[in-house]
Amino acid sequence: MYLDAEEKALNGQSYTIGGRSLTRANLKEIRDGITLWASRLKAAELDEACGRGGVRMMRAIPH
């Protein structure tokens, strides 16, 4: 979705049709989101490669 939003923002940040206007999200915020999710993906892939990936479960017994 971030890549789609980036493409749309690059093609036209804002426009007006019939007196109504639309302004897309800030391009910097979109790119910050892309960077964030790319780093999370890289970290998850690294964890999986090192054997730290997967679901971790804990059990707690209330007293």
Task: Give tens-digit pLDDT for 5-51.
Answer: 899 888 887 888 999 998 878 889 999 999 999 999 999 888 888 87
The pLDDT-based confidence of 55 (bands split at 50, 70, 90) is: low
Pair of tokens at residue 27: 């391009």
The answer to whether the beta carbons of residues 1 and 29 sit under 8 Å apart is no
Alpha-carbon distance of 50 to 20, in angstroms, equals 52
- This model's pTM is above 0.85: no
